[in-house]
Copies of this chain bind each other. A is one copy, B any other.
C-alpha cells in the first residue's frame, strides 16, 4: 500500500459527514433531500460530499426527474460495516483516549 492510496481512502471515508452519508445509504438509496433530512447536513454541503463520494466511486447516481438518487457501491457497504464493527470493538479504549478526543470534547463542552 502506498501513501496515495491510503490518503485517498481515508480522505473519502474518514470524514464523519461522509461516513454518516454512507451509513444512511447502506440502508437504502436516497436522494439529496432525504440525505439532508436524515443526516442534518445542509444541502449544499451534502452536494459537495456527494461529488466527492461519486468521484471516488463510493456511490453511484441515477436521475428520477429532478431528483438525484444515490446508491452505495456494494464493496463500500461492506467496508462501512466492517469499520463500524471495528469501532465497536475499539469503543472500550476510547474513554481513556484524551489526545484524539481533546479537540472534539473541548468543542462539545463549550
On A, residues with C-beta under 8 Å from B are 1, 3-12, 14, 16, 19, 51-52, 55-58, 75-76, 79, 82, 84, 86-91, 93-94, 96-101, 104-105, 108
Please, could you name 29 A-B residue pairs with CB atoms under 8 Å apart, sorted by A? A1-B87, A3-B16, A3-B104, A4-B94, A4-B101, A4-B104, A5-B90, A5-B91, A5-B94, A6-B19, A7-B100, A7-B101, A8-B94, A8-B101, A8-B104, A9-B87, A9-B90, A10-B10, A12-B97, A12-B100, A14-B14, A52-B99, A56-B94, A56-B97, A57-B93, A57-B96, A75-B89, A82-B82, A82-B86
Given A3-B16, A87-B1, A89-B75, A8 and B100 touching (CB < 8 A)?
yes
